Amino acid sequence: MSTFKETGLKPEILKALDDLGFKNPTPIQEKAIPQLLESDKDLMALAQTGTGKTAAFGLPIIQKIDPSSKKTQALIIAPTRELALQITEDLKNFSKYIDGINIVTVYGGSSIENQIRDLRKGAQIVVATPGRAKDLINRGKLHLDQVKFVVLDEADEMLTMGFKDDLDAILSATPQDKQVLLFSATMSKEIERIAKNYMKNAEKISVAEINKGADTVEHIYHMVNARDRYEVLKRIADMNPDIYGIVFTRTRREAKDVAAKLMQDGYNADAIHGDLSQAQRDEVMKRFRNKQLQLLVATDVAARGIDVNNLTHVINYNLPDQSEYYTHRSGRTGRAGKKGTSIAIIHSREKGKLKEIEKKSGIKFRYQLVPSGEEICSRQVLSLSDKIVNTQVDETQIEPFLEAIYKKFENLDREELIKRFVSAEFNRFLDYYKNARDINIVDDHKDRKRNKKGGSNLTRMFLNVGKKENLTPLRLIGIINNALDNGNAEIGKIEVLKNFSFFEIEPKAAQQLLTKIKSQTFEGRNLSVEIANPKDGEEGKKNKSSKKRERKDRNRRKGGRRRF
């Protein structure tokens, strides 16, 4: 199949696609559209974000809808308001030459009364978020008894976000003889449960290996100390003057802090997070879509459903907790055949996590040095020069001022004028980067060898919980970050043993932990920490020192006390 004309879509839809410039279907569209036009069987489709899923299910549904009936015939469930609105906009564009089709979007954070009024007017297609759909069903305002099609878009994301019970309630309210279309990027046990309970002999199609990274995305990592992450982010932005991307952080607080720093430092940036009202979130997204913002800072949850084209970069300020999330993040760039770049900012201890992502996604990261001050200044001056050369001059507007301008510059020759003009625009970069330090960790293996020979500058700490309390290295990092109220401390080697653990951390943070961690609990245990003997717990081997510490820990559990 080479064009949409060969899919069997009717002329009105083909005309709308032609207006949009759509000529050739994407792989998921090529497989799904004929299947849905010719068959009433349920469909399970595995495809990544940005592969054209909305048209894959939307075009056949539009063709099969009966415009003469005002009853709701198709229900499309999406995880977020942004995705629901995007789907609605696409469906309206696809159906603009078909009279009588009405599409209504219902979602939380907006007036439910207005949405109820829209539903009363009649809507053949309803696009909804799970919570609002369930609410309207319970109120008796969303009637699904005539529904022929139910679409679960980004089903895996909805389950991750905790909508399992809502989906069960919604699907239970639909007719038995409906056609269920499930689109997901991953195939989890919960997805399989939904398929088993609500789908019958579903056809399965897949356009790519599950969780496989896009070939159009280049994957790069910079290795630095944790405290230098923000400096790396700024250098990435300065090295790419036309950057247009999303910066992913692990926590909501960090998203706010990073965005605030970027704005304070003069970058066109902002954040979306759970503390924003819907109106504030809409305003941020409007500015980002209009490219008034170059960088949007967000967590994985806050970014659900954001569908923005032409992103040049995805920047992983922190790697995601789950490896498959990296593929979702990086898939937001490099779309529609265009090239994109996904950058991970990591510390040497995260090298293993990087390898895990490579193994699961089939991608390959390329190590790259953080740009130096000299490289950034060179890139910026060339960018400025290109901007000046390509600036369009409106003679009618500038003519009244030219005589005064010429008089100002009459004593300057061509070379001197260029030097001064460029310096006026460029001095801030020269001042900032003139003494820029090298922040790279070049080789993790060599770094460890150097520390072993010359002595590490990190402090070794003892923590009184271990595997018995289900502690993992990741959860230990969480304990540290919560106690310090930030994620910037440099952490070295971590050893989680049966009853206790050891970790390395920068000296300043170690002193803070001695007092701050006392107020925390973990799995019902009061936490305590102390500076450890460097020889304790080597690679999990119980030498005399570690056995002694284990006995002391058991005694403390029985009522003994440990002095700090």
List, for residues 363-374, the tens digit of each pLDDT value: 899 988 898 888
- Of the candidates 238, 56, 66, 246, which has an alpha carbon nearest to the alpha carbon of residue 148? 66
**The one-letter amino acid at 140:** G
**Positive or negative torsion for Cα 154, 155, 158, 159:** negative
Distance (Å, whole) CA 543 – CA 540: 9
pLDDT band at residue 446 using 50, 70 and 90 as cut-offs: very low
Q: Would you state the pLDDT for residue 542?
A: 43
Distance (Å, whole) CA 136 – CA 446: 61
Written as six digits, the tokens of 188 are 């989890």
Written as six digits, the tokens of 561 are 């006390």
User: Do 454 and 446 form a contact (C-beta atoms < 8 A)?
Assistant: no
Q: Would you state the pLDDT for residue 555?
A: 56
Q: What is the pLDDT of residues 297-307, one digit of tens each?
A: 998 777 766 77
Beta strands in 273-424 (DSSP E): 295-298, 313-316, 340-346, 366-367
pLDDT band at residue 450 using 50, 70 and 90 as cut-offs: very low
User: Do 221 and 354 form a contact (C-beta atoms < 8 A)?
Assistant: yes
Which pairs with CB-CB distance under 8 Å and at least 24 residues apart come from 377-382? 377/426, 377/429, 377/430, 377/433, 379/238, 379/239, 379/240, 379/241, 380/238, 380/241, 380/426, 380/429, 381/422, 381/426
User: Do 160 and 193 form a contact (C-beta atoms < 8 A)?
Assistant: no
- The mean pLDDT of the chain is 83
Q: What is the pLDDT of residues 209-247, one digit of tens each?
A: 444 455 789 999 999 998 899 999 999 999 999 999 999
Give Dmax (Cα) for the chain: 90
DSSP 362: -
442-458 exposure pattern, b = at least 16 Cβ within 10 A, e = fewer: eebeeeeeeeeeeeeeb
Distance (Å, whole) CA 305 – CA 53: 13
**The one-letter amino acid at 550:** E
Q: List Cβ neighbours of 555 (8 Å cut-off, separation of 6 or more).
A: none
**The one-letter amino acid at 498:** K
Beta bridge partners of 463: 501, 529
Res 428 pLDDT > 80 = no
pLDDT band at residue 152 using 50, 70 and 90 as cut-offs: very high
Higher per-residue confidence, 562 vs 351? 351
Higher per-residue confidence, 462 vs 551? 462
Q: Could you tell me the strand order of the sheet in which 245-248 lies?
A: 269-272, 295-298, 245-248, 313-316, 340-346, 217-223, 366-367
- SS3 label, residue 103: strand
In the chain, residues under CATH classification 3.30.70.330 are: 456-557
Q: Where are the alpha helices (DSSP H) in 65-187?
A: 81-94, 112-120, 130-138, 155-160, 164-172
Beta bridge partners of 525: 522
pLDDT band at residue 448 using 50, 70 and 90 as cut-offs: very low
Q: What is the pLDDT of residues 2-56, one digit of tens each?
A: 688 888 899 999 999 999 888 888 888 999 999 999 999 999 988 766 678 899 9
Q: What is the CATH number of domain 456-557?
A: 3.30.70.330
Highest mean pLDDT among 60-64, 77-81, 194-198, 507-511: 60-64
Which uninterrupted H or E stretch holds 522?
strand 521-522
In the chain, residues under CATH classification 3.40.50.300 are: 4-206, 217-372
Would strands 313-316 and 459-463 be described as parallel, antiparallel, or unpaired? unpaired
Highest mean pLDDT among 339-348, 488-497, 522-531: 339-348
Q: Would you state the pLDDT for residue 149?
A: 96
- Hey, which CATH number is domain 4-206, 3.40.50.1860, 1.10.10.1100, 3.40.50.300, 3.90.76.10? 3.40.50.300
Res 454 pLDDT > 60 = no
Domain 217-372 has CATH 3.40.50.300: yes
Res 292 pLDDT > 80 = yes
Distance (Å, whole) CA 145 – CA 135: 16
Would strands 525-526 and 501-505 be described as parallel, antiparallel, or unpaired? unpaired
pLDDT band at residue 449 using 50, 70 and 90 as cut-offs: very low
pLDDT band at residue 175 using 50, 70 and 90 as cut-offs: very high
Q: What is the pLDDT of residues 497-556, one digit of tens each?
A: 989 999 888 888 888 888 888 778 888 888 999 988 755 544 444 444 455 555 555 555
Q: Where are the alpha helices (DSSP H) in 395-472?
A: 395-409, 414-433, 444-454
Angle formed by the axes of helices 130-138 and 112-120, nearest 10°: 70
Q: Would you state the pLDDT for residue 502?
A: 92
Tokens 């297609």 belong to residue: 125
- Of the candidates 328, 303, 323, 313, which has an alpha carbon nearest to the alpha carbon of residue 252? 303
Would strands 179-184 and 43-46 be described as parallel, antiparallel, or unpaired? parallel
| % of the chain surpassing 90 pLDDT | 38
Which uninterrupted H or E stretch holds 44?
strand 43-46
Written as six digits, the tokens of 444 are 């993790």
pLDDT band at residue 109 using 50, 70 and 90 as cut-offs: confident
Phi-psi region of 455 (alpha: psi -120 to 50; beta: other; left: phi over 0): left
